[in-house]
Amino acid sequence: MLRRPASLTTLSVPFLTRFAPSPNGDLHLGHALSAITGFGLAARENGRFLLRIEDIDIQRTREEHVAHIVEDLRWLGVTWEEPILRQSTRFDAYRRAAASLLDRGLLYPCFATRSEIDAAVAIDPTGTDPDGAPLYPGLCKNLAPAETERRRANAEPFCLRLDMDRALKVAHAMSGGRSLTFREWTAEPGTTPDIIAADPARWGDAIIVRKDTPASYHLAVVLDDAMQGITHVVRGRDLYAATDLHRLLQVLLGLPEPIYHHHRLLLDADGRKLSKSLRHTSLRAMRAAGATPAAIRTTLRNASV
């Protein structure tokens, strides 16, 4: 095979992205925007595109939703490189990473229930995290080891929380005293990403391993992006603040730093969020009502200003 002379080869950076839906419902227009944005960027950048099913929540996962995701994406004209990664096959990797963070004193078990947390913050408010949930008031932060052991022996359910203060100190030391940042790319052709200061402290002692499954969204997503070699994370602006926490976990776990593009969300023509009925109508329902992929793309172009 003839080699192209070096001067004619593209010098563009490697580009590998993914669409990562959670199979607890059918895809709607917001998902279509995410999938089409990532797929379109991969095509434009001569890159690659993967599909990852984020099914750590086994209770809420339905196989029919997984099948529908595949079918709806194909209908939209979105294609990906096989195999599809299922997060439910990755529990051992999540367990190993959590165990290493626990060994390093960066996580601690928390037995508190939602109502105990609500009661504590009602008396002594802690403020809210970027998702609007109360910041963890520290109920189990300083449990005596014997007490933790007793409750574990009693099979009380617990999650593992990040000791945020300690994690920030350790990450700071690990990155040679540099402050934590992430790279946000507008996705305009030929542009380089902006460097954004990350502020993971606003998440407080976030849950890294949930009570009901061996990971959390945050832990699973950083481990899988690294394992799959994702160079560019393309996802909606609703996950922008989560990137602060993802960068912290990447530093603590020694994982590579992808470039992020958080795309705009769907808006009505008047700039408000897209009306509920349209936002929540599934692609399948729209297809059944006669919508075509071209019509969906037009709606997305007009609605995502």
Q: Which residues, numbered 69-88, are part of the site for ligand GLU (CB under 6 A)?
A: none
Q: Which is nearer to ligand GLU, 57 or 163 (CB)?
A: 57
Residue 231 C-beta-side C-alpha neighbours within 13 Å = 13
Residue 218 is a binding residue for ligand GLU (CB under 6 A): no
Count of residues in the chain: 305
Residue 21 is a binding residue for ligand GLU (CB under 6 A): yes
Judged by CB under 6 A, the stretch of 8-16, 19-27, 106-114, 191-199 that binds ligand GLU is: 19-27
Cβ-Cβ contacts under 8 Å for 80 (sequence gap 6 or more): 19, 39, 49, 50, 51, 73
Asked if 256 and 250 touch (Cβ cutoff 8 Å), the reply is yes
Q: Which is nearer to ligand GLU, 17 or 299 (CB)?
A: 17
Residue 239 is a binding residue for ligand GLU (CB under 6 A): yes
Please tell me the count of residues contacting ligand GLU according to CB under 6 A: 7
Residue 235 is a binding residue for ligand GLU (CB under 6 A): yes
Q: Which is nearer to ligand GLU, 54 or 244 (CB)?
A: 54
Residue 20 is a binding residue for ligand GLU (CB under 6 A): yes
Residue 199 β-bridge partners: none
Residue 289 C-beta-side C-alpha neighbours within 13 Å = 9
Tell me which H or E stretch contains 44: helix 29-44
Q: Nearest residue by C-beta to ligand GLU?
A: 235
Residue 54 is a binding residue for ligand GLU (CB under 6 A): yes
Asked if 249 and 174 touch (Cβ cutoff 8 Å), the reply is no
> Which spans of this chain sit near ligand GLU (rule: CB under 6 A)?
20-22, 54, 221, 235, 239
